[in-house]
Structure 1
Amino acid sequence: MNKLNYPRFTIIMRGYTYDEADAILQAMKGYEHLFAVEMTLNTNHALQHINKLNARYGERILIGAGTVRTLDDAKAAVDAGAKFLLGPHIFSEEMLDFAKEQGIIAVPAAMTPSEINDMFNKGADIVKVFPAAVVTPRFFSDVQAPFGELPLMAVGGVSANNAQEYFDKGASYLGFGSNLFKKEDLISKNIDRLEASLQTISSLI
């Protein structure tokens, strides 16, 4: 997959049940071009969830794996059908090479200019700046002043309230965690209210 086709927003599904994840993907109808979804591998039955969700929605929704930390994690995620890999830290060269061989988007995380530079030099498609709230939105413009324009994703503390600031400062992509949806909407699997939360974010484009 070409990173140019990667959606601007990523929904991070950590600790969600299959039914909760399924409700989110139902709510995404009409927003598929704007949102990718990742099931974190430290979620119970994550690989099974990725496999089942891909079987049902994979033709229209980009579904991947998050919290990918090792080459074994990457291989298991791809075997389950993940179309991209996100990590909470830098990826090893073996992980990046594997992603390239499989045609999978690789999104390692970094928090310093040196780490960002290293990951792109070793083949990362997108670098996830994590936790973004710690470095603040200004980091994205500051780090690109010497490096030039880079495909950077802000993750960690990103919300509807500050998302526009990250875009204004040069982030290309945003990842949203548990603060994207109201807890009661997830528990009740309220498709309409989940969709309303997606609409709020999509209006930033």
Structure 2
Amino acid sequence: MKLEDYPQITIIMRGYSYEQALLIIKILREYNHKVGVEVTTNNPDYLKIIQDGNKQYGQQVDIGVGTVLKIDQAKEAIHAGAKFMLGPTQFGDDIFELAKRENVITVPAAMTPTEVYDQFERGADIVKIFPAVTVGPSFCKQIQGPLGSRKLMAVGGVNLQNAKDFIENGVGYLGIGSNFFNKEDLQNLNEEGLKRSVEEFLALVP
């Protein structure tokens, strides 16, 4: 996957059932790669979701893996078809080397200017500011003064109310978990309601 093709919005699928996850991936076919999905490793069937999602909709939706903490998780997810990987912490050189070899986008996490700089130096494609709501949108703008323009993703507490603020402060990408969908829509597999949520977030990005 090329970095320029990476979607601006990523739905973080943590705690989704197999049926819910596949329905979301199916719905996203309509949005021309503008929204990707990250299936976290603490979902019991995350590899099956990645594999089956790719088999059915992989040409129309970008599917990656999240909560990558160990090299074995990265290897298994790539084997299942993950096109990108996100983590809640920094990545080690072993994960960067594997991703480069396999042409997989890396999005490790950082919370300080030093960590952000270090992860880009090691080869990160995008650095995830996590938890973003803790440091706030202006943090993302301020660190890009001394560090230069950087590809940053805001993750952690991002919602419809603050998403635009992050974008206006120099964040190029958003990762949204439990704030993305209405819980009832998800539980009831309500396609119309789920689509409405996707469109509300898409209306916020340039």
| Normalised TM-score (structure 1) | 0.98
Q: 5+ residue gaps in structure 1? A: none
Q: Which residue of 2 aligns with 1:106?
A: 106
CA distance, structure 2, for counterparts of residue 32 and residue 23 of structure 1: 16
Q: Which residue of 2 aligns with 1:84?
A: 84
Query: 1:130-158 deviations in whole A, cap 9, x for unaligned?
Result: 00000000011000010111000000000
**Structure having greater relative contact order (Cα 8 Å, sep ≥ 6):** 1
- AA paired with 1:67? T
- AA paired with 2:56? R
SS across alignment from 1:153: strand
CA distance, structure 2, for counterparts of residue 140 and residue 31 of structure 1: 27
Q: Which residue of 2 aligns with 1:146?
A: 146
- With 150-159 and 31-40 compared, the bigger mean Cα shift is at 31-40
- With 9-18 and 19-28 compared, the bigger mean Cα shift is at 19-28
TM-fit CA distance, 1:27: 2.3
> Is the CA contact 1:130–1:155 (under 8 Å) kept in the aligned structure 2?
yes
Report runs of 4+ in structure 1 exceeding 2 Å deviation: none
Q: Which residue of 2 aligns with 1:196?
A: 196
Q: 5+ residue gaps in structure 2? A: none
| Normalised TM-score (structure 2) | 0.97
- AA paired with 1:177? G
SS across alignment from 2:64: strand
Q: Which residue of 2 aligns with 1:127?
A: 127
CA distance, structure 1, for counterparts of residue 178 and residue 112 of structure 2: 25
Matched, 1:73 2:73: yes
Query: 1:65-102 deviations in whole A, cap 9, x for unaligned?
Result: 00001111110110111111100000001101110010
> Is the CA contact 1:27–1:192 (under 8 Å) kept in the aligned structure 2?
no
Q: How many residues align?
A: 205
- AA paired with 2:38? E
Query: 1:108-132 deviations in whole A, cap 9, x for unaligned?
Result: 0010101110000010000000000
Identity of aligned residues (%): 46
